[in-house]
Amino acid sequence: VKEQGKNNYQFYTSDMNEVVSRRMNLEIGLRKGIIKNEFTVHYQPQVDILSGTVVGVEALLRWQHPQLGLISPAEFIPLAEETGLIIPIGEWVLREACRQNKEWQDANLPPMRIAVNISTRQFQQSGFVEVVSRALKDTGLEPKYLELELTESIVQNSVHAIAIMHKLKEMGLFLSIDDFGTGYSSLSYLKLFPIDSLKIDQSFTRNLMEDAKDEALVHTIINMAHNLGLKVIAEGVETGEQLQYLLQRHCNEAQGYYFSKPVPPDNISNLLGSVSA
Ligand code: C2E
Ligand code: CA
Ligand code: CA
Ligand code: CA
């Protein structure tokens, strides 16, 4: 028993060391990643449910680490947020997404919005509005083709957030609340924020057909959004049944593996090319 205990202890500490050293590795790597061109952006279509056309794409960051391989944003984004590196990384994604969307438009693909995830820390940096306007100006993308996906955590500093959001709206951008319903915040911000749409979190979409409570929540979010004059998009749509349900409930848009996984930019042009042909 004693020996087993000892082994367990050793196993535990070596695990801990591994976690700590991976973290340190990633943190050092993140700093170099931008300069060394290790980041890429994949894109996932957002589909208008009634017409079946692609009306937007979400930009999702990918990091190819030289030793550790492909690392999920679920792992490195929180680290980038803690270290503040999200500010240069986020600016890079924003510029890259705008550049890519302009390139698609110049190649005569049907015009669509590009949605970029914005961390609250990035949104709250001084000069964020200028970062956005510079990205648009330098790439030549019209503001109406840029959507920013914000999360409910911006509510923490809502007076500042509202002022920034108004400036972005005046510029002509499209603003949405990502992961709606998971942020533990009160709903009162919905009447204060100048937003255009809500994204229903995939945790509600996932069991839509099995769980009557998820069904009720999704239905309620759609109605509430519409009553507030907002569009609503469901993420994590994987099956035709889920899509059918969303159609019946007048959800505006859907995004998920049912249509496509996030893919490299060339695949998007093929996808849209075939839609428009
Ligand atoms: P998110 O913004 O909620 O993005 C949706 C995530 O769900 C993506 O994971 C996407 O690949 C995945 N997904 C899409 N459709 C389906 C589906 O049908 N089923 C399932 N199971 N999953 C689906 P990904 O790309 O790993 O990104 C994870 C998170 O990392 C994102 O969640 C977002 O919070 C963050 N992230 C990604 N790129 C960026 C970025 O450029 N900036 C910031 N600040 N955060 C980012
Ligand atoms: Ca998102
Ligand atoms: Ca989301
Ligand atoms: Ca999420």
β partners of residue 183: none
Whether 256 is in the pocket of ligand 1, judged by its Cβ within 6 Å, is yes
Return mean pLDDT, the chain.
92
Q: Tell me which ligand sits closest to the C-alpha of residue 115.
A: 2
Lowest-confidence pick of 82-96, 100-114, 176-190, 226-240: 176-190
Whether 257 is in the pocket of ligand 1, judged by its Cβ within 6 Å, is yes
Burial call 130-143: b when 16+ CB within 10 Å, e when fewer: ebbeebbeebebeb
Cβ atoms within 10 A of the Cβ of 55, count?
Answer: 16
Tell which atom from ligand 1 comes closest to the C-alpha of 258.
Answer: 18
Report the Cα 84 to chain-centroid distance in Å.
18
* CA dist., res. 218 & res. 223, Å (int): 9
- CA distances, 205 to each of 176, 209, 239 (Å): 18, 9, 10
Q: What is the ipTM of this complex?
A: 0.98
Q: Ligand 3 centroid to 151 CA: how many Å?
A: 9
Q: Ligand 3 centroid to 149 CA: how many Å?
A: 8
H-run or E-run covering 254: strand 253-254
SS3 150: strand
Of the candidates 103, 117, 21, 13, the residue with the CA atom closest to the CA atom of residue 68: 21
Cβ atoms within 10 A of the Cβ of 8, count?
Answer: 10
| pTM exceeds 0.90, yes or no | yes
CB of 245 within 8 A of CB of 216?
no
Q: Ligand 1 centroid to 3 CA: how many Å?
A: 44
**Residue 277, pLDDT above cutoff 60:** no
Per-residue confidence (pLDDT) for residue 9, from 0 to 100 = 53
Stretch 151-155: mean pLDDT: 92
Lowest-confidence pick of 41-45, 146-150, 168-172, 184-188: 184-188
β partners of residue 233: 199, 253
